[in-house]
Every structure is written in C-alpha cells, then in structure tokens.
Structure 1
Amino acid sequence: MLGSSSPLLIDGELVPGSRRFETVNPATEEVLGEAADAVPEEMDRAIAAARRAFDTSGWATDPGLRAHCLRQLSEALTRHSDELRELTVAEVGAPRFLTYGAQLDAPVADLTWFADLAERYEWEHDLGRASPMGMTSDRRVVREPAGVVGAVTPWNFPHQINLAKLGPALAAGNTVVLKPAPETPWCAAALGVVIAEETDIPPGVVNVVTGADHALGAMLSTDPRVDLVSFTGSTATGRAVMRDAAETVKRVFLELGGKSAFIVLDDADLRAACSHAAFAGITHAGQGCAITTRLLVPRARHDEAVEMTATTMAKLGTGDPRDDRTVCGPVISARQRDRIEGYLDLARAEGGAFATGGGRPEGRAKGFWIEPTLVTGLDNTARAAREEIFGPVLVIMPHDGDDDAVRIANDSPYGLSGAVHGGDPDRARAAARRLRTGTVSVNGGVWYGADVPFGGYKQSGIGREMGVAGFEEYLETKAIAEIARTGEGVG
C-alpha cells in the first residue's frame, strides 16, 4: 500500500509533499523509509480544501452519505489489516497483541458505530409552541456540524486516536485536516491512501498532512478557517493550543496527560491486584495517557505488594514487539528514552529506590529500551509520583485505608483514569465514585468502547472523545423559532 514512502492527502489527491523525512523502527533503530514532510503552504492548501468542501459540498447535510463512507472506510481498513498490523508494530513499536485491540482492530470496527449513530441521531428536536412576550411561536433545536476540524494526534496509539477523531467528526458532518505526530507518519498516511483510493469520501472532506515540524499543527489552532481543534497530547502543548485558539475564539477539545492511580483496598486479593497493576503499568512500555502509574497499597502489606509487583514486572520484562507474548516493547524514540531516564535519576535524587528495573535492559544495543521499573520509597509529593513519565515506570506507595487512598489518588493535577480493586464490590464501587477522574476500572472492568465517553477532569483535558458525548463535541446547537400561523398546529 505504501512501499518505501508515504504521501499527503490534500483535496482528494495523494501528493508526495515538498520534502521528505525518515521514519525509524524504535525497536531496532532501522530506517523504515521516508514520509512526506509538508511545508506551511501545503497545510494552507489542506485547510482551504477542507473549508471549501464544508461550505460548498453536500457532505454536511447528508448523514446517509456519511454513514456509507464510514462503513466503506472500516471495511477497506479491515481488508488491509495484515499490512497495517505489520506497519504498526514496526513504526510504533507496539506489541503485536495490542493490534488486535486498541492499536488497530478495535478503532477500525468502531467506525461502524459512528456510521450507525449518524443515521439514528435526532438532528432536530421539537420544543413545541409557546408565547413568550405574547408572540406565539413554534420552536425547535437543530444540531449542525461545527465546520472545519483540525485534528492533531500523538504517536502512542495512532490508529485509535486518528480514528477516534475522524469517526465522530465525519459522522457529525464536519470536514477534517489531520496532522499526526512526526514519529508515526506512515500510520496516518496509510489512512489517507485508503480514503483516497477505496472510499467515496468527497475531495477535501479529509486531508492528511504529515510533517516533522510541530508548527504545522499550530497553524490549525490559529487559522480562522478552522472552526474547532481536537488535540490529544501533553498538557503543556494543550495549553499552547488553548492560547492559540483563543485568538479566533475557536472551540477546542483537549485530551491531555494523566498520572492515574491504581488503588488496592485491604480486602482485595493482593497477588491478583498487584499482577494486574504490573501488567497494566508496563503495557506498550507505559506509553498511554490513561495507564495507571501510581500503585496505592495497604500500608500493612506494602512490602508484600512490592515483592509481588516487582516479580511480575521482572518476569514480563521487555521483548520484541513482533512477538505475540511481548507486553513491554521499546519506547518511541531516543528522546523519549532520555526523558524517562531523567525521571529515574530524579526518583533516586528524591530518595526513591528500584525494586526492579531502573535502567536499560541488557543485551539490547539497538533500539530505545527501558526496563520495567518499580519505584519505592517516594510519597505523593515527589515529582516522579506527580508528573507524567510516559514510560514503563510504576511508583508504589502505601495508604492508610479507603479515605486515605482516595485522597492520595485525587491529590494530582490530573484526572484521566484510575482503578480500584477490592473484595467487596460495593466498597470498591464506593471508592471509584469518589475518584475525580473521567474513567475508572473496578476489579478489572474494561471501560474502552466506541459507546463509552473518554476524557478527563482537571488538567487531563476538556471535553470527551467517543460515545454520544464525543460525537456531540463536533456539533453546534441552533434554536429556530417561527411565528405560528393562525389555525396551524405545532410542527
């Protein structure tokens, strides 16, 4: 599908781009090939195409066409699933087992849910007749697409996040300019190729602009032709998006960072809970904003919990992402590896110790690798316990009962996700309800799904992705009142 290069998609045409840049396999440091490295003029053309397609085509007013095209896209991506799977493992360093879930198959299937929603959604709602100020009027509320959407996405789960923005945005009737992360341009370019060659999505409705320059994404925040920016990434960059978008008072959806807590109550099966926490914390090398990276355990059983968690993490270790058994592959880049190592140095300086891990694994001279690491000896004021590391690093801390565990969990600038494990389901649910987070897993429950809204409290973002709530992020609300004619009923 892609060969050794990847194109831009602008106004329905696949174009090579003015420049090229290399994309690298994070497990081996092998150069995979080249991707289009767009210049500002190409982003400008993409925005113009999206604006024209929204303003002049029938896309915004034809939910049937939108549903048809989304189903086409899902079917086409499914046909290419084997090729996309290999691409994802190579470019992202994602463990192969994840591609059968959130890294590929699940988000591709989720497109059909948004196609169905476009067809069944109540686009107009009749409020009936009323006579404010003596003026008898028939009133209705109409939901309409926001317009041109700028979608800026990260590298950790590229298919999931690209499609979690495209699916609802397109179902709602918007046009989109997608700017993916420089680390994973091929995943987005493959999507553009499929859209151009295997769907009836009209020219300009979807534009894919890859590039090494982060300033390309900033153009979407400042350009007055863009009506809404949907951004997933770091909280620091999210603040910049908000500042830039404020100039034109455009709407923003922000899905940002997390430092989620995994609470083990004193009536939980400690071994099962710690094993679960270890697996969750190092999956995909910890490169997930909703991954639980603070493990809170009963103080009386802290040492047991450390031993159990460290044993599981060491046993899982790191592995070749092509291997179906691998849980923790490489991190995405040398820069990210260096950043994580900086936090490990900081943890030592803050008085922490490593029950397992703490550096690069032996025998991996090539690639960007960090051992699964369990940090002990820190409290919740330590930077390593408060800031998002985005690596296979789990900080374990003691708590003194349910109230203390919830207090520690909520003592964070973030509020994206969390988990509670306990023997009494009612007690575990009660703790979960007190967490100030957008999603919570209770005793291993899985909240991911096309119909489940995802997003965070506090500095974890604004708005929701997925579900009806995520779909409605891409809609405007219009109220229409018509003077009632004598003798006519409400309509």
Structure 2
Amino acid sequence: MSSVEQEVPADVVTDQRLLIGGELRDAATAYPSVDPATGEVFGYAPDASVEDAEAAIAAARRAFETTNWATDVAFRQRCLDQLHQALLDHLEDLRELTITEVGATVALTKEAQLEGPLAIVRYYADLLKTYDFSEELGSVEYLGQQHRRWVEKEAAGVVSAIVAYNFPNQLALAKLAPALAAGCTVVLKAAPEAPLVTLFIAELIAQHTDIPAGVVNVLSSTDVAVGEVMTTHPDVDVVTFTGSSVVGRKIMKAAGDTLKRVFLELGGKSALIVLDDADYGPIAPYAAFGITMHAGQACALNSRLLVPRKDHDRIVEAVAAMMARVRYGDPREKKTYMGPLISEKQRDKVHGMVERAVAAGATLVAGGEKIDPGFFYTPTLLAGVDPDSEIAQEEVFGPVLAVIPYDDDDDAVRIANNSAYGLSGAVFSGDEQRALNVARRVRTGTLGINGGNYFQPDVPFGGYKQSGIGREMGEAGLEEFLELKSLAITLP
C-alpha cells in the first residue's frame, strides 16, 4: 500500500504544516508518509486543498506586488544567507528526516541528497554580489539624435514550483534559491511521496529568515487538482516542474492557455559509451555503482551501457561481479550503499519492466528480485539488450542496467541518440580527443568524459528533446526566472 493509500486516523496530528502567506497552518485533512525501508507509516502531512493552493497563489501575488522583494537585491542576498545558515543549523534533523522519508543512505545525504543542495543556496547568495541586472548597449544615432539603450533584468513574477520525490532537498532548493535570487515569489509543492522534507524547509524559512510573508509558500497534497491550479492559475507567471515526461507534457499543455513560461526537468535514458580503446578496469565500478545510486531513482543516471560487441561478455562479467559488491539494506547503516525504492507501486513497475525485458530476449545476468520488508529491489543487470526494446527506451527509475553491444563509433552514437530523451551520458576512451569527438555527437544536455563530474551548483543542468526545457543551476538557472526589459532614452 502506497503512502497516499494508507488509512489516516481521525485524530492525526501532522508532523509539519503548510506555509501560506507567512503562516504555518494545517489543512482540513492529512495523509501518511511511509518509511520505504520498512513499509511502515512514520508521520503525517497536511493534504492541501484547491482552496489552499489558491490562497498560496494569492499570497505570492500580493507579496510580489506590494513588497520590495523584487527590487531589493541586498535584502534578497541577506535572506538567502539566513536560509543557508538555518539549513546548516538544522542539518542533522533534516538528514534524519531525509533518510527516513526518502530512503536515502547516510552516505548519500553527505552528497546529492542533502549537503550538496545546501551549496546551491550558498551559490546564489554569492552570485547576487556580482550579477549585473542591467546591461548597457551603448548609444546609437537615430533621426539626428543620440539614443542610449540598455537592458534591465527583472523578476518574472509568481513561480509555481513542483518537485519529485527522489531528491527533495536538491529539487526544492534548485528551484527556490534561483527564483528567490531573481526576485520572484514562489508557491512550492512537495512530492506526495516525500512531503515532510520539503515542509521542514518551509518551517525553517518561516521561523529563521526575514523572507517576507507570501514570498515563499509551501504545499503538500495528494489532490491532482492542486497541481492543476498551480499550472493554470492566471496569477502564476512561471511554472517549473521536475518529474516524468508524461506529466511534463500535461503541464506544458495546461500552461499554454495562459502562455506561462515553463521550465521542465524530466526523464532520461542516458548512455554510458565505452570505446574499444578504453581501460575497461574502471568501467565496472563506474557502471555498477552508478546505476544503483539511490536505487536507480535519478533521472541523470546512465541506465544504458554501450560496449564493443567483441567485448560484450567480458564487460558484462566484470559489471556483474561489481554489482554483487553493492551493499543494499537499511539506509541508516553507514556501510549501506543502496537503499529502497520509494514505494511498492514503484517496485512493481520496475519488476514488471525487467520481466518484460527478459521475455523480449534480454539475458538476466544478476538481480531481478524483490526483497522485503520495505521496498528493496536487487541490483539488476540485463545483457544483450535490443536498443529498440522497452527496457532500452523507457525510463525505469530503478537499479537496472541494460547492456547494449555496438559495432563502431558511428553505431554507438546512433544507439545513444536512439532515444526520446537527452539528459545525460558518459564516454570512456583511452584517447581524450576521440572521446570528445563522440561526446559532441551525442544529443544530450550533460555529459562526463572519462569519469568527469559536471554536477555542481555553478553548472547548468537540463536536457535535450523530451528530457525537458531550460536549465537549472548556474547563471542560466537564475535567468530562467528573469524577464528582459529593453529601454532607451534620448541624449542631450
């Protein structure tokens, strides 16, 4: 039974509250949050209604129009400094909550699940010290008179931000920090499967920063109508969403009626290309530990391993041996590398895709098993995968690696680009220039060469094709939330 299907006691007390117009409040109803490592309910979240969402949007609009938030850069920087400090001061509380609700391992909270995202807030607070919100274009003569022209970068307005369950701290802060730095006001909706982490951040904002009432509003809800209001309301100017491509397409259509700006960070089916001159030694740990990071629940993971046909079996054997060393289990144990999937529903989806892959001709080399209690799934390796099959084309969001043989560099590039997605990828080669030549031909938004890591707060992140629209992080992430206003004035 998933977190949104559990029965709720009549006298339930929620662990965190909604943040609307500067006030922490409960909703009329609540729903349970489940520890995916045990399958047991451990807390309750307020279940926001459409009326709550409308109140949050109204508060954000009012704050944008009546406060100095959009115009006072120094004030915004100070508030981001306060938020960063509050996150640091409550780091261990947030760590425990992230482990329990998301199934993140202790080690992962020291990186992408928690401590890494805090650096995003620091990055945007510091960026405000140097970022120029005005650009001079010089003067030009027109009809016998000089005209000075310049561009001012202004806050885009009210932002609806909707996040996924897999990395709630990363996703929330990668939307909140640049939107706030730009001067926007925000309505943030937590993932239904992991609401308490995001609501904890809301509590820190309300109690430990000077961010004005209504600038940040945070909701949790199981009602799809709440998301629909957030993407269609005429007072919302920008929609930013992280999640599946299926939902992303629906949001884009919904936002189209009012021509809102839409930023989408969606799915991926990224390819790790091993060229035939690569040192195969590092490939097995890179591939095995990469796909099992957070039980495969990350859009940018390399879920397709493209290998020279002549070395397919050799590489598969090495990856299988390395997968056997992936320690999974209780995420609270410091030696655990891989925790559970988020829910029974997600585990059933993963298992069904693996079963269909085998039925379609792939070889199950390792894994493919459900482990109870909790929602664990063993690290899974499929060999001899058809590049056109479902398992090679659709996002699994589980610890499943599909090995695909190729014939030459051109064939590898063709298979890598044979996807509706284009989010990430990697290339390994003994010849760096050859690796770069291949990498530049792959239609993807991010890519590592010989183990290179691009994922940092100052690096734009996003994808091509159905992996999304726009970029998060870096200056590009700030500019997603800015409008350009061109001005001119006559000179004496």
State the match for 2:3 in structure 1.
none
Q: Mapping of 1:76-475 within 5 angstroms?
A: 76-361=86-371, 364=372, 366-475=373-482
SS at the partner of 2:186? strand
Aligned residues: 480
Following the alignment from structure 1 to structure 2, what is the Cα–Cα distance between the partners of residues 215 and 372?
36
Amino acid at match of 1:427: R
Following the alignment from structure 1 to structure 2, what is the Cα–Cα distance between the partners of residues 428 and 323?
38
Amino acid at match of 2:247: T
Q: Do the aligned residues in 2 keep the contact of 1:317 with 1:371 (CA within 8 Å)?
A: no
Amino acid at match of 1:171: A
SS at the partner of 1:316? coil
**Given the alignment, which residue of 43, 47, 52 partners 2:53?**
43
Amino acid at match of 2:269: K
Q: Do the aligned residues in 2 keep the contact of 1:4 with 1:32 (CA within 8 Å)?
A: no
Amino acid at match of 1:464: R
Following superposition, the deviation at residue 119 of structure 1 comes to: 2.4
Following the alignment from structure 2 to structure 1, what is the Cα–Cα distance between the partners of residues 435 and 334?
33
Following the alignment from structure 1 to structure 2, what is the Cα–Cα distance between the partners of residues 127 and 432?
36
Following the alignment from structure 2 to structure 1, what is the Cα–Cα distance between the partners of residues 35 and 436?
42
Following superposition, the deviation at residue 459 of structure 1 comes to: 0.5
Spell out, residue by residue over 1:43-62, the C-alpha distance to the aligned partner (whole angstroms, 9 max, x if none): 11000000000011000001
**Given the alignment, which residue of 53, 69, 84 partners 2:79?**
69
Q: Do the aligned residues in 2 keep the contact of 1:229 with 1:253 (CA within 8 Å)?
A: yes
SS at the partner of 1:330? coil
Amino acid at match of 2:293: T
Q: Do the aligned residues in 2 keep the contact of 1:271 with 1:305 (CA within 8 Å)?
A: no
Point out the more displaced range, 212-221 or 16-25. Answer: 212-221
Amino acid at match of 2:230: L
Following the alignment from structure 2 to structure 1, what is the Cα–Cα distance between the partners of residues 335 and 105?
8
Amino acid at match of 2:478: F
SS at the partner of 1:136? strand
Following the alignment from structure 1 to structure 2, what is the Cα–Cα distance between the partners of residues 255 and 374?
27
Q: Do the aligned residues in 1 keep the contact of 2:47 with 2:220 (CA within 8 Å)?
A: yes
Spell out, residue by residue over 1:438-457, the C-alpha distance to the aligned partner (whole angstroms, 9 max, x if none): 11011111111110000000
SS at the partner of 1:129? strand
Point out the more displaced range, 205-214 or 150-159. Answer: 205-214
RMSD value, Cα:
1.2
Amino acid at match of 1:219: V
Identity %: 53
Following the alignment from structure 1 to structure 2, what is the Cα–Cα distance between the partners of residues 404 and 410?
10
Following superposition, the deviation at residue 326 of structure 1 comes to: 1.9
Following the alignment from structure 2 to structure 1, what is the Cα–Cα distance between the partners of residues 223 and 352?
25
Following superposition, the deviation at residue 116 of structure 1 comes to: 1.4
Provide the TM-score with structure 1 as the length reference.
Answer: 0.96
Provide the TM-score with structure 2 as the length reference.
Answer: 0.96
Runs of 4+ in structure 1 over 3 Å off: 132-136
Following the alignment from structure 2 to structure 1, what is the Cα–Cα distance between the partners of residues 448 and 351?
29
Q: Mapping of 1:13-24 within 5 angstroms?
A: 13-24=23-34
Amino acid at match of 1:209: L
Following the alignment from structure 1 to structure 2, what is the Cα–Cα distance between the partners of residues 388 and 134?
61
Q: Do the aligned residues in 2 keep the contact of 1:317 with 1:372 (CA within 8 Å)?
A: no
Following superposition, the deviation at residue 325 of structure 1 comes to: 2.2
Following the alignment from structure 1 to structure 2, what is the Cα–Cα distance between the partners of residues 315 and 115?
41
Spell out, residue by residue over 1:166-213, the C-alpha distance to the aligned partner (whole angstroms, 9 max, x if none): 010000000000001101110111000000000011000000011112
State the match for 1:478 in structure 2.
485
5+ long unaligned stretches in structure 1: 486-491
Following superposition, the deviation at residue 217 of structure 1 comes to: 1.6
5+ long unaligned stretches in structure 2: 1-12
Q: Do the aligned residues in 2 keep the contact of 1:147 with 1:227 (CA within 8 Å)?
A: yes
Following the alignment from structure 2 to structure 1, what is the Cα–Cα distance between the partners of residues 380 and 122?
39
Q: Mapping of 1:5-20 within 5 angstroms?
A: 5-20=15-30
Spell out, residue by residue over 1:375-398, the C-alpha distance to the aligned partner (whole angstroms, 9 max, x if none): 113211001111001000000011
Following superposition, the deviation at residue 136 of structure 1 comes to: 3.2
Following superposition, the deviation at residue 133 of structure 1 comes to: 4.7
Q: Do the aligned residues in 2 keep the contact of 1:95 with 1:326 (CA within 8 Å)?
A: yes
Amino acid at match of 1:450: P
Following the alignment from structure 2 to structure 1, what is the Cα–Cα distance between the partners of residues 302 and 378?
17
Following the alignment from structure 2 to structure 1, what is the Cα–Cα distance between the partners of residues 328 and 358?
22
Following the alignment from structure 2 to structure 1, what is the Cα–Cα distance between the partners of residues 367 and 484?
52
Point out the more displaced range, 233-242 or 351-360. Answer: 351-360
Following superposition, the deviation at residue 411 of structure 1 comes to: 1.0
Amino acid at match of 2:236: V
Following superposition, the deviation at residue 405 of structure 1 comes to: 1.2
Point out the more displaced range, 152-161 or 304-313. Answer: 304-313
Spell out, residue by residue over 1:245-274, the C-alpha distance to the aligned partner (whole angstroms, 9 max, x if none): 000000000000000001111111213112
Following superposition, the deviation at residue 135 of structure 1 comes to: 5.0
